[in-house]
Amino acid sequence: MIENPFTYALELFSGANRSLGQFATDPHWGSVVEWARFEAWRRAGDAARIGEAKVNIEPVADGTAGLPYATGFKVRLTHRRTTLGESVFSQTWFDQLARDASATRVAQGELKAGETFYFKLLAYPRPVDAPAKASTIEVVEIWQPIPLKMSDLQSLTAQATPVDDPHPDDVPVFIPHHVIEETATMTEKAGANETGSILIGHLRCDPGTRQIAVVVTAIIPAKHVEASRDSLTFTAQTWSDVDAALTLRQSDEIILGWAHSHPGKFWCNPQCSAERRRECAYMKPFFSAHDRTLHETVFSKPFHIALVVTNTDVGMIHSLYGWQRALIHPRGFHILNSNRPSTAVAAKTGDPTHEKTCPITAS
């Protein structure tokens, strides 16, 4: 059961602090409820009670101005008066809705496209007789506990190399070195086109600490993707290949996410100098609007991850993206069975020796 007794609005302001009016929002709460359930589950276990828990969504009042001004909202799970977990989401969660709202003011000439604007979050009690909206009903779905494999995580950590400073609050992600190499080879072979694959593996739980980790075991190359120079679409054939591979492998693996490449060195202007190419945005890891839409639609579970391989003039850069409080963020991970840091890792961390010695040829 979901209790969501408030409606939320955004008040937009121009850079000169001029109010551009209030906009009602109709957020999709599914991802925040899913996140709150996942967090409660990974911290407290107890899948059965989380499945039955009452979900309450309410604003966090602005400490100075008070309601209706809010700094965010919280999602609380309770089971027979016992709180199983509470997740707090900041106003940042509304950034995209604010961007969408700003489009009408751009169309009316009150804001310029690309101009910086600000917004305040407002929360109003929902009228008692207001009909439930589709987005309120949407989240009333049965929570499915995720299959877990019990195993010691300390031994995994001992043989892993951290990349991009994994945050202690995030679910740790372990990717074997052979997956890093296979995705780099696929990227190299694809040349100027994007290439993709599905990441499979397990959610592992340490029997001692109850800590949960995402452990990738393999990739299933998506042979039937529709790949072009700047986007990638998985087809129905990809999913039947994945199902067949999971059945064949008989290892109880699940889909953990996806990997795809950005052929940055082919996107960058070939007329530019080596120095300018090195500064080119395409040579740096990013998650495009198309990547975001695909991840939100297909890989919406809180533990789903996206590995991006950027093909640059100085080698491959592996970077990881994942869910954090129901938003997609860059995140750290661990490479398993890596005896040496790969070239990609050295390049990403900006190792000056690598930068100096890497043979860069001007086009």
**Site residues, Zn ion (CB under 5 A):** 288, 291
Phi, psi of 305, deg, nearest 5: -125, 160
- Tokens 């070239």 belong to which residue? 343
Q: Which is nearer to Zn ion, 6 or 286 (CB)?
A: 286
How far is Cα of residue 138 from the mean position of the Cα atoms in its chain?
Answer: 21
Q: Which is nearer to Zn ion, 87 or 195 (CB)?
A: 195
β-pairing verdict for 305-312 and 254-262:
parallel
68 cis-preceded (ω within 30 degrees of 0): yes
Q: Which is nearer to Zn ion, 175 or 308 (CB)?
A: 308
CB of 295 to Zn ion, least distance (A): 10
Three-class DSSP labels, 85-107: EEEEEEHHHHHHHHHHHHHHHHH
**Token pair recorded at residue 277:** 């190419």
Q: Which is nearer to Zn ion, 241 or 291 (CB)?
A: 291
DSSP per residue, 178-194: HHHHHHHHHHHHHTTS-
328: three-class secondary structure by DSSP? strand
Distance CA 100, CA 208 (A): 46
Distance CA 320, CA 307 (A): 5
Give ∠ CA 7-8-14 in degrees, rounded to 5.
155
CB of 190 to Zn ion, least distance (A): 13
CB of 262 to Zn ion, least distance (A): 5
CB of 288 to Zn ion, least distance (A): 5
Write the CA distances from 6 to 31, 34, 99, 335, integer angstroms.
18, 19, 22, 44
CB 33 within 8 A of CB 140: no
Q: Where are the alpha helices (DSSP H) in the chain?
A: 30-44, 47-52, 95-107, 134-138, 154-158, 177-190, 236-249, 264-267, 274-279, 289-298, 343-348, 352-357
Q: Which is nearer to Zn ion, 253 or 291 (CB)?
A: 291
Q: Where are the alpha helices (DSSP H) in 117-213?
A: 134-138, 154-158, 177-190
CB of 166 to Zn ion, least distance (A): 22
28: three-class secondary structure by DSSP? coil
Q: Which is nearer to Zn ion, 11 or 291 (CB)?
A: 291
Phi, psi of 349, deg, nearest 5: -80, 5
How far is Cα of residue 75 from the mean position of the Cα atoms in its chain?
Answer: 19
Phi, psi of 247, deg, nearest 5: -65, -45
Q: Which is nearer to Zn ion, 306 or 336 (CB)?
A: 306
CB of 177 to Zn ion, least distance (A): 23
CB of 232 to Zn ion, least distance (A): 7
Closest-approach residue to Zn ion (CB): 291
Q: Which is nearer to Zn ion, 179 or 212 (CB)?
A: 179
Q: Which is nearer to Zn ion, 288 or 363 (CB)?
A: 288
Q: Which is nearer to Zn ion, 112 or 290 (CB)?
A: 290
